[in-house]
């Protein structure tokens, strides 16, 4: 380990590499979920997008601040993914990056602020509210759990473990919901009884963040 900046930037690089691996491993499952209530491309979209992100970040200098890396990641998603998840995760990561700014290192509160900025970006672009059966249903409870953990004085990796649990729980909570946003909303009541693919991949992304931070601490 060299400087603090290199360590913190490494979290972003490790996180994105881990997401690329996780969505690849779960690609079939994500596609299956999307085949039930969408067009069956979510696994492929996430795999293509995050593998491009992994490559884009591998080419970055180790001293590039973490916020800048997230902006590169977001732009890469927008330019490589055709489905809704590309622009949505694209804006999410760009807003998270902008929230961190040029700081060399960040603490739990700054990370929670960055994740909140990511959600705000998703909501601005996609106009989904909690309960609409989207990625928002995984992300909102996840940031709430992160903040609760931090407020209780938990170390960041513990608080992130709770955040990942909450995201998984949030993804499961989409099963009985009727979709009101995105392609699944075209199905009306027939969208009920299926887990939302975007909420499912969002939980993978938060779990990967927990692993990246745990490895670094």
Contacts with Mg ion, residue ranges (CB under 5 A): 34, 38-39, 41-42, 83
Phi, psi of 131 (to 5 degrees): 95, -5
In Å, how far are 33, 91, 102, 119 from 169, measured between CA atoms? Answer: 16, 24, 33, 17
Selected binder of ligand ADP within 90, 97, 126, 141 (CB under 6 A): 126
Task: Report the distance separating Cα 121 and Cα 134, nearest Å.
Answer: 14
- Residue 70's CB is within 10 A of a number of other CB atoms, namely 27
**Segment interacting with ligand ADP, rule: CB under 6 A, options 99-107, 127-135, 140-148, 205-213:** 127-135
End-to-end CA distance of the chain: 12
**Segment interacting with ligand ADP, rule: CB under 6 A, options 17-25, 63-71, 193-201, 208-216:** 193-201
Task: Report the distance separating Cα 63 and Cα 119, nearest Å.
Answer: 27
For position 135 contacting ligand ADP by CB under 6 A, the verdict is yes
For position 24 contacting ligand ADP by CB under 6 A, the verdict is no
For position 183 contacting ligand ADP by CB under 6 A, the verdict is yes
Name the residue nearer to ligand ADP (CB basis): 58 or 127: 127
- The two structure tokens encoding residue 31: 């596609």
For position 57 contacting ligand ADP by CB under 6 A, the verdict is no
Instruction: Note the residues at the interface with ligand ADP (CB under 6 A).
Output: 34, 38-39, 41-42, 45, 83-85, 88, 122, 126-128, 134-136, 181-183, 196-199
């Amino acid at each position: 380990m060299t400087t603090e900046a290199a360590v913190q930037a490494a979290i972003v690089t490790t996180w994105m590499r881990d997401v690329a691996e996780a969505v690849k491993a779960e690609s079939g499952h994500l596609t299956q979920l999307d085949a039930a209530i969408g067009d069956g491309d979510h696994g492929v979209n996430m795999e293509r997008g995050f593998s491009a992100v992994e490559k884009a970040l591998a080419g970055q200098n180790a001293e590039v601040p973490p916020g800048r890396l997230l902006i590169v990641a977001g732009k890469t998603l927008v330019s490589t993914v055709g489905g809704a998840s590309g622009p949505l995760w694209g804006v999410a990561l760009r807003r998270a990056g902008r929230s961190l700014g040029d700081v060399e290192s960040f603490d739990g509160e700054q990370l929670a602020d960055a994740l909140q900025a990511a959600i705000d970006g998703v909501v601005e672009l996609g106009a989904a509210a909690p309960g609409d059966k989207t990625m928002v249903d995984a992300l909102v409870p996840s940031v709430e759990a992160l903040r609760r953990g931090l407020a209780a004085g938990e170390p960041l990796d513990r608080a992130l473990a709770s955040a990942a649990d909450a995201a998984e729980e949030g993804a499961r909570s989409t099963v009985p919901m009727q979709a009101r946003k995105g392609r699944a909303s075209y199905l009306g009541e027939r969208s009920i009884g299926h887990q939302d693919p975007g909420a499912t991949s969002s939980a993978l992304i938060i779990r990967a963040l927990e692993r990246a931070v745990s490895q670094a601490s």
